[in-house]
């Protein structure tokens, strides 16, 4: 009888096992800020997007590709969905599943952009997509309020890997 919850947990772990796929955690600003200030030798590529944002959706594969093209080069991609938290199960999770996104996906659950944007980056005017690339150990940081081409994105990331 007691085995049931354990089996259930095990099954759950198995489902959650393949990377971050199909798991989207909902985070608040302090958690995001913590992630945006890690001081190690990994180059973080944080892309702010939304399922309704056509240019964002179009460039997502570029960020996804980094997981293979830059594997073993200490590059980590974080996709921050700006969809409303109410759309998590209806839109975001199905989207992540359908696209088979391998990068970690989180949903930023904050309502007042005037407060959180300034703290993410003062240069962010409010348009999506928005991308922050940084490396804590090298004290290097760059922000982009635009859609990338593959060449542009590789060039920008390579500047961090010198």
Partner 1 sequence: MKKLLSFFPALLALVLLSNFTDGPAGYQVGDKVADFKLKNIDGKMMSLADNKAAKGYIVVFTCNTCPYAKAYESRIIELHQKYAPQGYPVVAINPNDPATVPGDSYAEMKARAASKKYPFAYLQDETQQVARTYGATRTPHLYVVSKRGADMVVSYIGAIDDNSEDAKLVKTKYVEQAMTDILAGKPAATSSTKAIGCTIKWKKA
Task: Name the site residues for partner 1 (rule: CB under 8 A).
Answer: 52-53, 55, 82, 84, 86, 111-115, 117-118, 124-129, 145-147
Q: For partner 1, which is the closer residue by CB, 75 or 105? A: 105
Q: For partner 1, which is the closer residue by CB, 55 or 136? A: 55
Task: Give the torsion sign (CA, 143, 147, 150, 152).
Answer: negative
Q: For partner 1, which is the closer residue by CB, 20 or 117? A: 117
Q: Give how far Cα 32 sits from Cα of 50, 99, 100, 108, Å.
A: 16, 24, 23, 8
Nearest-approach distance from CB 108 to partner 1, in angstroms: 10
Strands 140-144 and 130-135: antiparallel
Nearest-approach distance from CB 18 to partner 1, in angstroms: 31
Q: For partner 1, which is the closer residue by CB, 68 or 114? A: 114
* Distance between start and end Cα atoms, the chain: 58
Nearest-approach distance from CB 26 to partner 1, in angstroms: 14
Q: Give how far Cα 120 sits from Cα of 32, 33, 148, Å.
A: 8, 7, 20
């Amino acid at each position: 009888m007691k085995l049931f919850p354990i089996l259930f947990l095990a099954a759950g772990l198995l489902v959650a096992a393949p990377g971050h796929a199909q798991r989207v955690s909902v985070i608040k600003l302090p958690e995001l800020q913590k992630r945006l200030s890690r001081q190690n030798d990994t180059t973080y590529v944080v892309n702010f997007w939304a399922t309704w944002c056509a240019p964002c959706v179009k460039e997502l594969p570029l960020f996804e590709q980094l997981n293979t093209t830059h594997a073993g080069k200490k590059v980590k991609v974080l996709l921050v969905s700006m969809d409303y938290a109410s759309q998590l199960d209806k839109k975001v999770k199905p989207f992540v599943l359908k696209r088979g996104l391998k990068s970690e996906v989180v949903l930023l659950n904050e309502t007042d952009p005037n407060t959180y944007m300034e703290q993410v980056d003062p240069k962010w005017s409010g348009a999506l997509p928005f991308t922050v690339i940084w490396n804590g150990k090298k004290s290097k940081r760059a922000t982009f309020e635009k859609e990338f081409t593959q060449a542009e994105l590789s060039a920008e990331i390579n500047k961090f890997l010198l």
